[in-house]
């Protein structure tokens, strides 16, 4: 293998380049990124950067000298438009063609939004630097009422930041309990209370029916949100926090299976041993026969080590074992998750109290701790996370 092309220039892509060098690949590496920026950190976009406590220069994942040491070719501000595995070629939006022996798909995803709002001013998503800059400009331009759609991690963080900026915030969630599929109803309710503790209006079991707007000479601008039951909420700004769509359209006709992400084996390898996928775009098979796709920072940071090892070997010699670590900062509170929290036999508070907003919860299956959740209790959480990691490694 003489040339590897990494398609995607954010965290998963950068880590893939670093792993290629770390694992001894000394050939040509080409990195393709559709944004004009070198790899940057996305979590601050909904928190410190949006609040104005961080600058663009604080987001870079590596400085220029570190990037140079990787000895890769960085093609930024250009999209991959076609993969031809038979010819060993990636075609770009500027009509450049890259001859390559291996491909790492690290294209992440694009923020989902309600159809019909694409050209409506005041309706935002937060996925890129430009997204966050545009939203902050609106939030600091004399607005009062903000509606955030989706009370998952990203929506909750945006609601918290808008509250920090002194705005009136309504947070909408389609399910009856936020994060219930991840944390369960009881713990999801504790996280929901964080919003109401701070005066954010949380409305669960609500679906968006449409938007009101005005034409102000510059096109349509949002003025409110209609709920499915006919309720109208005033909104100077609306933020969509309803997940992403994996950026995999460019793989049409490549022979690689795409189904809500790039489908891979347990080692992140596609049907073609010369093509692997990492990060938000990768849907890999698990030991129980299902498939899973993660949309969080730690997965993008961890997954590339396994994928690159298998790519360089030309076969799947190692399976990916996720740590399941997720963190979030909301209303000055640190929230942390590790391991497997779905479908436990038992959920037990082992330290602190949810009512005090400082606690640690163990999730157990068959009497064994398989997951841990903490709020404002990093010391005990870190110790339990290390214990979980040892169990996963030895399994």
Mean pLDDT by 10 residues, the chain (395 residues): 96 98 98 96 96 96 92 97 96 96 97 89 97 97 96 96 97 95 92 95 95 90 94 97 95 96 97 97 89 93 97 97 91 93 90 95 93 95 89 61
Cβ(159)–Cβ(171) below 8 Å: yes
CA 135 distance to own-chain centroid: 18
pLDDT recorded at residue 393: 59
Between strands 333-339 and 326-330, the pairing is: antiparallel
Residue 11 burial by Cβ neighbours in a 10 Å radius (0-12, 13-18, 19+)? buried
- With both helix axes pointing from N to C terminus, report the angle between 185-197 and 153-164 in degrees, rounded to the nearest 10: 20
Q: How does DSSP classify residue 325? A: -
At 126 the three-state DSSP class reads coil
> Which residue carries 């040892």 as its tokens?
390
Stated pTM of the model: 0.94
Would you state the pLDDT for residue 392?
62
Contact 174, 207 (CB under 8 A): yes
**Contacts by 38-44, CB closer than 8 A, 24 or more apart:** 38/9, 38/62, 38/64, 38/67, 38/74, 38/76, 39/9, 39/10, 39/11, 39/13, 39/14, 40/10, 40/129, 41/11, 41/297, 42/10, 42/11, 42/127, 42/297, 43/297
**Greatest CA separation found in the chain?**
64
Domains of the chain: 3-110+244-313 (3.50.50.60), 113-240 (3.50.50.60), 332-394 (3.30.390.30)
Q: Are 40 and 136 in contact (CB under 8 A)?
A: no
Are the beta carbons of 374 and 359 closer than 8 angstroms? Answer: yes
- pLDDT at res. 394: 57
Dist. CA 69–CA 234, nearest whole Å = 51
Rounded Cα–Cα distance for residues 12 and 67 (Å): 15
Query: What does R_g of the chain's alpha carbons equal in angstroms?
Result: 22
Return the pLDDT at 288: 76
For 257, which DSSP code?
-
Q: Find out whether 131 and 113 touch, Cβ atoms under 8 Å.
A: no
How far, in Å, CA of 20 to CA of 14, rounded?
Answer: 10
Q: What are phi and psi of 286, to 5 degrees?
A: -100, 175
The candidate with the shortest Cα–Cα distance to 259, out of 298, 303, 291, is: 291
Dihedral angle sign, alpha carbons of residues 195, 200, 205, 208: negative
How many angstroms separate the CA atoms of 205 and 218, rounded?
34
Cα separation, 90 vs 114, whole angstroms: 32
3-state helix, strand, coil in the chain (%, to 5): 30, 35, 40
Give the tokens for residue 182. Answer: 């991840």
């Amino acid at each position: 293998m003489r040339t590897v092309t990494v398609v995607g220039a954010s965290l998963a892509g950068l880590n893939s380049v670093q792993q290629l060098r770390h694992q001894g690949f000394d050939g040509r590496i080409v990195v393709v990124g559709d944004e004009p920026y070198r790899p940057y950190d996305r979590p601050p976009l909904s928190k410190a950067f949006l609040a104005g406590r961080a600058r663009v220069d604080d987001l870079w994942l590596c400085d220029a000298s570190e990037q140079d040491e990787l000895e890769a070719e960085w093609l930024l501000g250009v999209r991959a438009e076609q993969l031809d595995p038979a010819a060993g070629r990636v075609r770009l939006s500027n009509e450049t063609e890259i001859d390559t022996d291996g491909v790492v798909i690290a294209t992440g995803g694009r923020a989902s939004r309600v159809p019909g709002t694409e050209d409506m001013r005041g309706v935002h998503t937060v996925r890129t630097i430009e997204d966050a800059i545009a939203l902050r400009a609106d939030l600091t331009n004399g607005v009062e009422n903000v509606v955030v759609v989706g009370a998952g991690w990203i929506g909750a963080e945006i609601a918290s930041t808008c509250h920090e900026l002194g705005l009136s915030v309504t947070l909408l969630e389609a399910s009856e309990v936020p994060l219930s599929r991840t944390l369960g109803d009881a713990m999801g309710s504790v996280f929901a209370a964080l919003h109401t503790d701070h005066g954010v209006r949380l409305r669960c079991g609500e679906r968006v029916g449409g938007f009101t707007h005005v034409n102000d000479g510059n096109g349509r601008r949002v003025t409110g949100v209609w709920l499915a039951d006919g309720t109208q909420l005033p909104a100077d700004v609306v933020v969509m926090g309803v997940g992403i769509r994996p950026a995999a359209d460019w793989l049409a006709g490549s022979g690689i299976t795409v189904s809500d992400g790039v489908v891979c084996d347990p080692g992140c390898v596609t049907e073609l041993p010369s093509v692997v996928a990492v990060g938000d775009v990768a849907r890999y098979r698990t030991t129980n026969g299902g498939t899973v796709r993660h949309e969080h920072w730690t997965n993008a940071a961890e997954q590339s080590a396994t994928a690159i090892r298998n790519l360089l070997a030309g076969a799947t010699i190692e399976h990916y074992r996720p740590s399941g670590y997720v963190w979030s900062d909301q209303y000055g509170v640190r929230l942390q998750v590790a391991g497997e929290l779905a479908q436990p036999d038992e959920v037990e508070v082992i330290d602190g109290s949810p009512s005090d907003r400082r606690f640690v919860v163990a999730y157990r299956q068959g009497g064994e701790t398989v997951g841990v959740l903490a709020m404002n209790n990093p010391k005990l959480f870190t110790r339990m996370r290390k214990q979980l990691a040892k169990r996963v490694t030895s399994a």
